[in-house]
Structure 1
Amino acid sequence: MVWEVLREALDRRAAEQDRPVLDVLDTGGGTGNFAVPVARLGHRVTVVDPSPDALFALERRAAEAGVTDLVHAVQGDTQTLADLVEPGSTDVVLCHGVLEVVDDPAEALGCLTAVLRKSGLVSLLAANRDGAVLARAIAGHFTEARHALEGESGRWGAGDPMPRRFTADELRRLADAAGLHVSSVHGIRVFADLVPGVLVDSEPGALEALLRLEEAAAQQPAFHAVATQLHLLAELR
C-alpha cells in the first residue's frame, strides 16, 4: 500500500515539476526497501542511515538492480542532516519508521523539511498508537492495552520493542508545526496483523482478497484507528 501511494505521488510530482528526475531523500532508509524501487523509476535517491552495515547492503542491492549511479549512501541521522544535505535541495523526503525512534520527533521533522525545495513532499510512515491498543486487547493483554492507550509514548510496557507510537491527530500536529500541509492519510495493515495467518494460507486466493480489502479500507478514516501504521503525504507550505 505504501509503495503504491508513493509511486503515484512521485509520478504526479514529476509531472507537476515538468522534470522526469526528482531528488529524493530517504532518511533511515537502511537497506533500500524503498530507495532502490524509487531509483528504478529513474529518480536520484540519497539514503541517510546511521548503520554502515545497512548502507553496505543498500549499495549491494542497488548494484544488483542496476541503479548504482542513482543511489547515494550517506552515514548519518536526522541530527546531522544539515551537514549532509544542502538546504532546499530535495523534492521528496521519505520518513518511514523514523519518528518512532528519534529523541525529538518535532525537531527531526523540522530537520527534514529544511532540505525540501518549495512545495516539496514528505512521505511519513509511523506506528499507530490506536492500532496497538486494539491488537493488545484482542490478544487478551488488557493491562498492556490500557498502558498503550494512556501512556505518553503509546508503548504497552517495558517489553514493547517500539519506542514510540502516534495517533493520526498527533502526526497531523507534528506535520503542521513543521510547516507541512497533510494532503492524505492512509491506514496501513488495517486487517493484516489481526487476521490469523493460517486463514490466509489455507484459503485459495485469500491473500489477494486481503490485499484488495486493505486497499479499499486504507483511505477511509473510520479504519485509520485500527491500522498498525499510518501513512501521511504532506507538502511544504
Structure 2
Amino acid sequence: MPDPMRPRAALRTAVVWEVLRDALDRRAKATGRDCLDVLDSGGGTGNFAVPVAGLGHRVTVVDPSPNALFGLERRAAEAGVADRVRGVQGDAAGLFDVVDRDGYDVVLCHGVLEYLDDPAEGVRNVVGALRPSGTLSLLAAGLGGAVLARALAGHFSEAQHALGDPAGRWGEGDPVPRRFTAEQLTELVSGSGVEVGAVQGVRVFADLVPGVLVDTEPGALDALLRLEAAAAELAAFHSVATQLHVLGEKSGTAVG
C-alpha cells in the first residue's frame, strides 16, 4: 500500500491502486521505459498522481480547480516528487486546449464522468490523449451501490427512484449528477477504441461497514481490505459497488 494513503482512505483506494500499479509496471515493460508519461484528468490534489510519481513516472494533472492544483503542488513537494508532477488548469471537455493528443502512455480518469454533460465525449477525449496501446484507468460512481446505501438507510423511495432515473440519481438532493452500471461504462470505453481488460467493483463493503468497527476491532481493517480485493473482480459484486473501475488498452489505430 502506498504511504500517502492513510488507513481509512485505503478502504476507498486500495483496489484501484493495486490494479493501477500493476498496469503501470506492465506498460513500462512493454515500452522499455522506466519513466512513463501519465495524464491524470480531474486529478485534484493528487491522490493518485503523487503515488504514481513516487514510482518514478512523470504525471500531468489537469483539473479545473486552482485550489486543488495548489494542494497538488504542496502534496507533491512534501512527497519529494515535485519535479515529476505538473498541474494544469483545465477540464475533460477542453482537454486538448492544455495537453497534446497521443501524448501519454497511461491516462487516469477517476471521478470525472459523473460530472460531465456528455460522458461519451469525455471518454473519447481522454482516450485521444493516449498513445497507441496506451492504458486507460477509468473510475466512476456505480448505480447499485447508491441504491443499496439508500435502502439500508431506510430511504426506500429514494432507492427506487435511483433505479428508474436515467442518471441514477435518488432525488433533487443527490450530490452526484450521474451514476453508471458496469455495462454502461464498458460500452463507453469499448466505443472509444479501448479494449476492456478488467472491471472491478470498488468499495463493495467499505461504505456499509460501521467506521467504529474498522477503527476499534483488531485486524478489522486488514481483513476488510482483503475482502474488498477478493470481491472486486467478481461480476456478482459489480452491481452493488459504490464505484466501478475499468482498465483497458487503446487500440493501435485511433477511432475517429
* TM-score (normalised: structure 1): 0.98
Secondary structure of the structure 1 residue equivalent to 2:137: strand
- Matched residue, 2:4: none
Find out whether 1:102 has 2:111 as its counterpart. no
Find out whether 1:29 has 2:43 as its counterpart. yes
Find out whether 1:12 has 2:26 as its counterpart. yes
| Unpaired runs of at least 5, structure 2 | 1-14, 252-256
Amino acid at match of 1:203: E
Of 128, 133, 139 in structure 2, the residue corresponding to residue 114 of structure 1 is 128
- Matched residue, 2:106: 92
Distance (Å, rounded) in 1 between the aligned partners of 2:37 and 2:106: 7
Deviation at 1:139, TM superposition (A): 1.4
Deviations 1:32-68 (A, max 9, x none): 1111110111101000000011101111111111111
Of 213, 218, 242 in structure 2, the residue corresponding to residue 204 of structure 1 is 218
Superposed, 1:225-236 pairs within 5 Å as 225-236=239-250
- Matched residue, 1:132: 146
Distance (Å, rounded) in 1 between the aligned partners of 2:98 and 2:134: 18
Secondary structure of the structure 1 residue equivalent to 2:244: strand
Deviation at 1:199, TM superposition (A): 2.6
Deviation at 1:200, TM superposition (A): 2.4
Distance (Å, rounded) in 2 between the aligned partners of 1:78 and 1:203: 42
Deviation at 1:197, TM superposition (A): 2.0
Find out whether 1:215 has 2:229 as its counterpart. yes
Deviation at 1:100, TM superposition (A): 0.2
More deviation, 45-54/129-138: 129-138
Superposed, 1:34-53 pairs within 5 Å as 34-53=48-67
Of 65, 70, 75 in structure 1, the residue corresponding to residue 79 of structure 2 is 65
Deviation at 1:166, TM superposition (A): 0.2
Find out whether 1:80 has 2:72 as its counterpart. no
Deviation at 1:122, TM superposition (A): 0.6
Amino acid at match of 1:92: V
Find out whether 1:189 has 2:203 as its counterpart. yes
Q: Percent identity?
A: 68
Secondary structure of the structure 1 residue equivalent to 2:198: strand
Amino acid at match of 1:5: V
Q: CA 1:64–1:200 in 2, change beyond 3 Å: closer, same or farther?
A: closer
Amino acid at match of 2:167: S
- Matched residue, 2:194: 180
Aligned CA-pair RMSD? 0.9
- Matched residue, 2:16: 2
| Unpaired runs of at least 5, structure 1 | none
Secondary structure of the structure 1 residue equivalent to 2:94: helix
Amino acid at match of 1:82: F
